[in-house]
Amino acid sequence: MQVEEADEEEDDDEEMEEEFKKKPNPGNEPCFKVIVTNENGLQASNPNSIFLIDHAWTYRVEHARQQLLHVPGLLHRMTDLMGIDFHGEIPDEGSIEQVLREMWKYNQTYQLSQGTAEEKVPVWYIMDEFGSRIQHSDQPSFATAPLFYMPQQIAYTVLWPLRDLETGDEVTRDYAYGETDRLIRKCVLLPWVPTEVWDVNCFTPEPSDEHYQAILAENKEKLPITINPPVYDKDKVFKVFTDIQQVLNNLTHPRFVFTDNEGKADILYNFSHFKDYRKLSEERPEVMLNQFPCENLLTVKDCLASISRRAGGPDGPRWLPRTFNLQTELPQFISYFQQRDRRGEDNHWICKPWNLARSLDTHITNSLNNIIRHRESSPKVVCKYIENPVLFHREDVGMVKFDIRYVVLLRSVKPLKLYIYDVFWLRFSNRAFSLDDLDDYEKHFTVMNYAPGVTLKQVHCEEFIPLFEKQYPEYPWATVQANIFKAFAELFQVASAKPAPLGICDYPSSRAIYAIDLMLKWDTSRDGKRIMQPQILEVNFNPDCDRACKYHPTFFNDVFSTLFLDETDSCHVTCIV
């Protein structure tokens, strides 16, 4: 096979193919195509018709800019491959920005199925000059797939023919492989064939009941049978089985003792998700546990957005950034993005995996192509990025982003009993906020305690409140916090408004602790006043309570007293529902 420059005036029967002939591959002059040169052609059944393609660049998105800056020859090779003018020897910001924009027309992705959460973050790669010049076709002549070769610890792309080919036939592949719906294919191919989808209604109603049934089946969660609420002796000492070291180290309340025998425990306080509620409810209904059936409706980001629409309609409530599920709502998102673009409105968005924490595989962008391609790596939501956050003045840095973490304790669903731990935690960016340098982690993100060599700014809540009120004297913290608690109450009310699996299951033996991360943004109230609007970012299952235990030694005593003893008088908690 060989690469040759294509005649842009060639005719083609397919409308989509005609669009591609008008466009270079994938986006800049000159236009290339790959053809079969073997004088005998290629036979699909011949094992010698399978080929390997090298990868020119393999990276993770957060490292792309630094690699273009510092890896010798990389920027020059990428500009050549993408048809970008670059004549200097020293990398310049303009050329790097062009590559970072154009690379989404060339990127492919894979991820490892084993390893730590960090190691399983998707990897992106660009095939070499040969592979990158294989054109798209709706009726492709070849297929491709990444192959990770363990002995060399290196990845290749495997290329094989789907039918017999003659000399001179073009080598093509399907850029939207696996997508059969015509509208979805149009959306997926948009990076190479720009088109408007304004005619698609960006209305995103709550998914059907079947959607939640499918989630339950996929999670392999078995719902409990109906039981009567357990009744315990007033002075009972509860045996606790747990695999969470923070609990083992910090729970000292006299009415709780630890046991290594799960079968004799009164309370199961597990780090991992519990699945078989049916068996537990049938055999040991009096055993309490630290999880609710179907709580993933809160803790998984696409489900959180879906159930929140019960409070705010298709656009969602004011306390949740506008969110789209890229797997199921791609056309609606593109329509919404293009309509905002047409009106000149801010179009910065943040792509998040459905079910990862610590900002892993989370990316901020104003590039539609970037967002569309991220759909291929792992299931994601895309949320409106908060372009006008309430900032906090750091003496050493300036005005920075911050977020707030509250610990909430769910005692029961019916009746709904929700408590807030009286201490909240703050996280700060390390660089002054501005709506640029979107891949600058220390400017746009606040989770610094997992990043090696990065400064972690700590301000305790009792110090923060007077500083905040000094910076914003018209916004008393008590008023701001009351609005935060109101948002939390609404969230849990809608999350428990429908029976499982459409809502959190009313299981009398369940209790739970969650951490809710939020930011504040500037907004306008319905009567025209400037307000600080809470924005819930995520709800975390089994949160890291290291700082809570370090600075508040009674933390787990308070949690266990509230959840399992119904005793709150001496605990640092506030009932909000």
- Closest to 285 in 3D by CA, of 234, 222, 230, 223: 230
Supply the pLDDT for residue 87. 78
Paired tokens of 472: 């914003």
CB atoms under 10 Å from CB of 114, counted, come to: 6
Dihedral of the alpha carbons of 316, 319, 320, 321, in degrees to the nearest 10:
100
**pLDDT per residue over 379-398, tens digit each?**
999 999 999 999 999 999 99
Write the CB contacts of 275 (distance below 8 Å, at least 6 apart in sequence): 219, 220, 221, 222
The SS3 assignment for 406 reads strand
pLDDT higher than threshold 90 for residue 563: yes
pLDDT higher than threshold 60 for residue 8: no
Give the mean pLDDT of 161-165: 97
Q: Is the Cβ–Cβ distance between 295 and 223 less than 8 Å? A: no
Residues 38 and 6: their CA atoms lie apart, in Å, by 19
Tell which wins on pLDDT, 70 or 355.
70
What is the average pLDDT score of the chain? Answer: 93
Give the mean pLDDT of 245-256: 97
Paired tokens of 378: 């792992």
Residue 150: exposed, middle, or buried by beta-carbon count in 10 A (0-12, 13-18, 19+)? exposed
Q: What b/e string do you get for 200-230 counting C-beta neighbours within 10 Å, with b at 16 or more?
A: bebebebbeeeebeebbeeeebebbeeeeee
Supply the pLDDT for residue 88. 76
Largest CA distance in the chain: 89
Dihedral of the alpha carbons of 279, 283, 287, 291, in degrees to the nearest 10:
10
pLDDT higher than threshold 60 for residue 205: yes
Is the pTM of the predicted complex or chain greater than 0.85? yes
Give the sign of the dihedral formed by CA 241, CA 247, CA 248, CA 250.
Answer: negative
* Local confidence band at 358 (pLDDT 50, 70, 90 cut-offs): confident
Give the mean pLDDT of 222-228: 97
**Single-letter amino acid, residue 157:** T
Give the mean pLDDT of 551-555: 95
Q: Is the Cβ–Cβ distance between 321 and 384 less than 8 Å? A: yes
Supply the pLDDT for residue 30. 55
pLDDT higher than threshold 80 for residue 17: no
Tell which wins on pLDDT, 575 or 1.
575
Residues 446 and 264: their CA atoms lie apart, in Å, by 42
Q: Give kind and range of the element (H or E) at residue 210.
A: helix 209-219
Supply the pLDDT for residue 159. 98
High-pLDDT (> 70) share of the chain, %: 96
Give the mean pLDDT of 432-455: 89
**pLDDT per residue over 70-127, tens digit each?**
999 999 999 999 999 987 778 889 999 999 999 999 999 999 888 888 888 999 999 9
Residues 19 and 194: their CA atoms lie apart, in Å, by 9
Residues 200 and 187: their CA atoms lie apart, in Å, by 11
Supply the pLDDT for residue 86. 87
**Alpha-helix runs per DSSP H in 2-148:** 15-22, 64-70, 74-82, 93-102, 129-132
131 CA to centre of own chain? 30
Paired tokens of 67: 């690699």
pLDDT higher than threshold 70 for residue 20: no
Which residues is 392 bridged to in the sheet? 400
Q: Give kind and range of the element (H or E) at residue 283.
A: helix 277-283
Supply the pLDDT for residue 108. 97
Paired tokens of 510: 């369940």
**pLDDT per residue over 331-350, tens digit each?**
999 999 999 999 999 999 99
Tell which wins on pLDDT, 313 or 282.
282
Helices (H) and strands (E) in the chain, counts: 18, 26
Give the mean pLDDT of 202-209: 94
* CA distances (Å), origin 459, targets 237, 363, 428, 467: 37, 26, 9, 10
The SS3 assignment for 510 reads strand
The SS3 assignment for 466 reads helix
Q: Is the Cβ–Cβ distance between 121 and 63 less than 8 Å? A: no
CB atoms under 10 Å from CB of 107, counted, come to: 24
Give the mean pLDDT of 241-259: 97
The SS3 assignment for 575 reads strand
Dihedral of the alpha carbons of 380, 384, 387, 388, in degrees to the nearest 10:
-130
Paired tokens of 296: 């993933």
* CA distances (Å), origin 117, targets 123, 283, 353: 13, 35, 12
Q: Is the Cβ–Cβ distance between 341 and 347 less than 8 Å? A: yes
Give the mean pLDDT of 207-236: 95
Give the mean pLDDT of 531-544: 96
Length of the chain: 577
pLDDT higher than threshold 50 for residue 420: yes
77 CA to centre of own chain? 31
Give the mean pLDDT of 353-361: 81
Residues 219 and 303: their CA atoms lie apart, in Å, by 13
Paired tokens of 433: 């906020």
Give the mean pLDDT of 356-376: 91
Place of tokens 């990428």: 78
Supply the pLDDT for residue 7. 64
Give the mean pLDDT of 220-230: 96
* Local confidence band at 527 (pLDDT 50, 70, 90 cut-offs): very high
* Local confidence band at 10 (pLDDT 50, 70, 90 cut-offs): very low
Supply the pLDDT for residue 18. 46
Residues 404 and 392: their CA atoms lie apart, in Å, by 12
Paired tokens of 320: 């949740």
